[in-house]
Amino acid sequence: MKADPKRVLTGNHFMNGNHAAAEGAIAAGCTFAAGYPITPSTEIVESLAARFPKVGGMFVQMEDEIASSICLQGGVWSGRKAMTVTSGPGFSLMMEHIGLAAITETPCVFINVQRTGPSTGLPTKVGQADMMQARFGSHGDYGIIALAPSSPQECFDMTIDCFNLAEEYRTVVFLMSDEMTGHMLEKVVIPEANTIDLVERKFYTGTDKYLPYKPEANGIPLMSKAGMGHNYHITGLTHDERGYPVLTQEVQEVMMERLMGKIKNNVDKLTRVEEFMMEDADIVLVSYGISFRMAYRAMEMAREKGIKVGLLKMITCWPFPEKVITELAKKVKSMIMVELNYGQMYIEMDRFANAHCQTHLVGSACGEVHEPETILNQILEAAKK
């Protein structure tokens, strides 16, 4: 299905990443958003509050992020595409409902415009230190998908991707943006609606009793929505195909294998990376989101010095592009993760690379993006070895 022209602001715009993400959500067919104000994410819901009433959508400001993160799931079961938007402390408050969405297989999008933590930290400064929280923040095992935009254009494009992936896999999808990408003003090209592909929800239309958790051949069950007459039961308890709670290890295992498998069995399909100057590289920078831009400059500076540096940009951070990393590691001398934290995606990169090459981290306490020179120094260091 293609996007609805009434919802797509086709044209060239000069807008920040947060506004672009809001336009992406509208173009993707999102008609429901719940949120609570928090810097530096708020422009997204401000945008939605202004735009939604004109395009058949609704934004509701809830009493806190806990409420927002479950209110949106009520919106999803009413048959709508829904999302919430937050940052830092708000993201922490939402964690329980990531787990609820995971176990109930409620397709929904969470945008986290990351700031500096821990706790209140630096509320108006950039960070990328919620990457592990996005993956593992709620209790128990589950799989999620996370994309990281590094420009306002990608905020638009990837928000649409997030909604499409959420519907396809019936899972939580995160757009792991950051303060600087969110507030950066750049050219954003919004294409014609008929060039934007949307994944629509697949509802059960059979005549037999609807089994809300009976998987199709692809491992993903068909959905229902309020009032279809299916009389379904949705629960955060361990459940069988009927959706009934069954509190046994056997049923837990069947449920978990499928929940984990939805992502695990599709890692290759989900993996999205971009490579730069990789042909002859023996040192590879790996980065994502805003840090990608600094890494790119550092790569250019190193190339000017004659050092063979390439750059791998992760678009999907979760599931982690493990095969790409391992294959690269076999070919190069060093891999350097560039990110605004003390080493989160680095842990994953190291796990899949260290059998084959050296691994390094250019981390940060957050608050500002890296100086390209800092990254360059690490490249020079790695080049010596």
Partner 1 sequence: MAEKKSKKKDPKEWRIEIDAERCKGCGFCVEFCPKNTLAMSDDFNSKGYHPPMVADPESCTYCDMCEMICPEFAIFAVSEKNKKDTHFSDDALRMDRMPHIWCPGCGIGTVVNALTQALEAAEIPRDKTQIVSGIGCTGRVAGYMDMDSYHTTHGRAIPFATGLSLGAPDQKIVVVSGDGDLTAIGGNHFFHAARRNANMTVICVNNFIYGMTGGQTAPTTPQTAIGITTPYGAFDQPFNLPFIAESCGAVYVARWTIYHVRHLQNAIKAALLKPGFSLVEVIAPCPTLYGRRNKLGDGLDLVKFYKEAAVRVKKGQTTADAAIGYQSEFLVGKFVDRDRPSLTDAMDASLKAKLGDAYAGWPIPG
Q: With respect to partner 1, which residue has the nearer C-beta, 108 or 366?
A: 108
Q: Determine, following the binding rule CB under 8 A, whether residue 98 of this chain makes contact with partner 1.
A: no
Cα–chain center distance at 347: 18
Least distance (Å) between residue 361 CB and partner 1: 36
Q: By CB under 8 A, which span of 229-237, 289-297, 353-361, 372-380 interacts with partner 1?
A: 229-237
Is 60 an interacting residue with respect to partner 1 (CB under 8 A)? yes
User: Angle CA(97)–CA(318)–CA(347) in degrees, nearest 5?
Assistant: 110
Q: Choose between 70 and 375: whose C-beta lies nearer to partner 1.
A: 70
How many residues form the binding site for partner 1 (CB under 8 A)? 46
68 binds partner 1 (CB under 8 A): yes
Asked if residue 280 binds partner 1 (CB under 8 A), the reply is: no
Distance CA(37)–CA(168), nearest Å, equals 29
Query: Which range binds partner 1 by CB under 8 A, 37-45, 62-70, 109-117, 307-315?
Result: 62-70
234 counts as binding partner 1 under rule CB under 8 A: yes
Is residue 62 part of the contact set for partner 1 (CB under 8 A)? yes
Contact region with partner 1 (CB under 8 A), list: 75-83, 303-311, 318-326, 373-381: 75-83
d(CA 116, CA 130): 9
59: helix, strand or coil: strand
Instruction: Quickly list H helices, 28-111.
Output: 42-55, 65-77, 88-93, 95-104
What gap in Å lies between CA 39 and CA 92, rounded to an integer?
Answer: 14
Instruction: Give the span between the Cα atoms of 260 and 245, in whole angstroms.
Output: 19
Counting every residue written for the chain, the total comes to 385
Q: Does 282 bind partner 1 (CB under 8 A)?
A: no
> CA 214 to CA 70: how far, in whole Å?
24
Q: Rank residues 67 and 314 by Cβ distance to partner 1 and give the closer one.
A: 67
The answer to the question of residue 14 lying near partner 1 (CB under 8 A) is: no
The yes or no reply on residue 236 touching partner 1 (CB under 8 A) is yes
Choice between 57 and 363, CB closer to partner 1: 57
Name the residue among 156, 202, 212 with its Cα closest to residue 26.
156
Q: Considering only residues 67, 324, 349, 369, which one is a binding residue for partner 1 as defined by CB under 8 A?
A: 67
Q: Which of 199, 181, 203, 165 is nearest to 126 (CA)?
A: 181
As a whole number of angstroms, the distance between CA 237 and CA 211 comes to 16
Told to check if 230 binds partner 1 by CB under 8 A, we report: yes
Q: Does 58 bind partner 1 (CB under 8 A)?
A: yes
Residue 69 near residue 97, CB atoms below 8 Å:
yes
Q: What is the DSSP track for 159-185?
A: HHHHHHHHHHHTSEEEEEEEHHHHH-E
244 binds partner 1 (CB under 8 A): yes
95 binds partner 1 (CB under 8 A): no
Check binding of 37 to partner 1 (CB under 8 A): no
What are the structure tokens assigned to 71, written together? 């209110």
The verdict on 82 binding partner 1 (CB under 8 A) reads: yes
Residue 331 in tokens: 């070919």
Binding residues for partner 1 (CB under 8 A): 31-32, 34, 53-56, 58, 60, 62-64, 66-68, 70-80, 82, 96-97, 100, 224-237, 244-245
